Amino acid sequence: MIINMPYWTNVLKRILYLTLTIFGLYLAFKLSIFYMPFLVAFIISLMIEPLIKKIMKKAKLTRRTSSIIIFVVVSTIILGALIWGMITLFSEASNLLQGINDYFDKAYKLFQNFLNQFDFDKIKISNELLSVIQDSTGGLLDSVSLWVKNILNGLINIVTSIPVISIYFVITVMALYFICVDKIYILDQIEHHIPELWVKKMGKHLKDLIKTLGGYLKAQATLILVSFVISLIGLYILSFTGFNIKYPLLMAIFIGFVDALPILGSGTVMVPWAVIAGLNGDWNLGIAIIVLLTIMSIARQVLEPKLVSKNIGIHPIFTLIAMYTGFKFIGILGILFGPIILIIIKNVFATLIDGGVVKTIFDKK
């Protein structure tokens, strides 16, 4: 048997290239978590870049002057929002933590009342199965209660870590300033220190990747911000007008986070909330939440086509797999980062995927 050495050498080279690229993506992900303030600054810079260009064009100012004006305005808004958010979050999280057992006791009693009122004889459910359902519900509520307590305790610990937050904030603001003001210089320096061969081979791929991923992150951040602001304003209006909403900021953050997740959305939180409010007898609150959800959905449907293409070339089942994989590896944040990593992989290996992964690696051509 004659072994075709050139063929297998080519196959091994492709496998090695694939392995090194995957390792590079893993390393890049780890570094992005480690250098989170710079990543946040980069995302904010993408969001405010159109404003900088607009001022340059309308006011005939230099990039440096335009960047400083926008930077001062954005930094002031972020600082004010951060201070208000920390104070409000500490207050709401502390109050919710103290009364969380009461809320879950009410939820369990509500479920028990539903079971007592429902006629299970019609669907022929045995008493043993009904007992299992009741016990499972109690265990589930206990697990959720413990999970929420851990999140709230972690949130309180973060809010009370003023020195750490201050350091992160200062670094993020400084990074944002340099990225906005010296963007062209930074890009020139990066290109200057990269081998020319790399620039030629990777330039196009990096440009497409940054355009796709940067546009996706910018669009998603904008949509999340819009959902958060609408829900926050709406919940505070409902709270001030006498509706039973005790933790508007916490709920708005939770709604914004869930709204950021592909496949899911704000309705995943607000519809069950409205149903529970209705079952608890507070129909006005239930209707008000549905109205607020409708407003948020309309705003998102109007903005989304302008900000991000709905068809990113990834089927929802693969997005769901990416969310689950991210969750298994790094927890809740993995649900958010999983689809982002999937987009990166799809762009990096676009040629390989289009040609068929295994087929391209082992193709004799």
**What confidence category does residue 144 fall into, taking pLDDT thresholds of 50, 70 and 90?**
low
d(CA 228, CA 252): 6
Residues 306 and 322 in one domain: no
**Are 364 and 331 part of one and the same domain?**
yes
| 185 pLDDT higher than 60 | yes
| pLDDT for residue 168 | 85
Does residue 91 fall inside a structural domain?
no
pLDDT at res. 242: 84
pLDDT at residue 311, as a whole number? 47
Residue 340 belongs to a domain? yes
Q: Which residue has the higher pLDDT, 42 or 191?
A: 42
C-alpha 10/C-alpha 276 separation (Å) is 61
Residue 145, classified by CB atoms within 10 Å of its CB into exposed (0-12), middle (13-18) or buried (19+), is: middle
Weakest mean pLDDT among 7-11, 110-114, 173-177, 352-356? 352-356
Verify that 233 and 305 share a domain, yes or no.
yes
- The reported pLDDT for the residue numbered 111 is 67
Confidence check: pLDDT of 104 > 80: no
| Residue 262 clears pLDDT 60, i.e. is over it | yes
Q: Which tokens in the block code for residue 183?
A: 């963007």
Average pLDDT on 185-210 reads 67
Asked if 255 and 331 sit in the same domain, the reply is: no
Indicate if 247 and 277 belong to the same structural domain.
yes
Domain assignment present for 146 = no
**Pair (304, 225) in one structural domain:** yes
Residues 228 and 278 placed together within one structural domain of the fold: yes
3-state DSSP of 269-310: HHHHHHHHHHHCCCHHHHHHHHHHHHHHHHHHHHHHHHHCCC
For the chain, what is the domain count? 2
* DSSP H stretches of helix in the chain: 5-34, 36-59, 63-117, 127-160, 162-181, 183-192, 196-240, 248-259, 267-279, 283-307, 316-330, 332-348, 350-355, 357-362
Span 37-56, average pLDDT: 85
238: containing domain: 221-310
Q: Is the domain of 250 the same as that of 326?
A: no
Please give the average per-residue pLDDT across 304-325, as a whole number. 67
Average pLDDT over residues 128-136: 64
Bigger pLDDT: 230 vs 329: 230
Q: In terms of domains, do 322 and 363 share one?
A: yes
pLDDT at residue 131 tops 80: no
Are both 247 and 226 inside the same structural domain?
yes
Residue 318 lies in a domain: yes
pLDDT of residue 229 exceeding 60, the answer is yes
In a domain, residue 125? The reply is no
Residue 290 has pLDDT above 60, yes or no: yes
Contacts for 258 with CB less than 8 Å, ≥ 6 apart:
264, 265, 266, 268, 269
Angle between the 267-279 and 248-259 helix axes, to the nearest 10 degrees? 130
Q: How far apart are CA 13 and CA 201, in angstroms?
A: 17
Q: Check whether residue 323 and residue 302 sit in a common domain.
A: no
Q: Is residue 275 part of a domain?
A: yes
* Residue 301 and residue 363 in one domain: no
In a domain, 264, yes or no: yes
4 or 326: which leads in pLDDT: 326
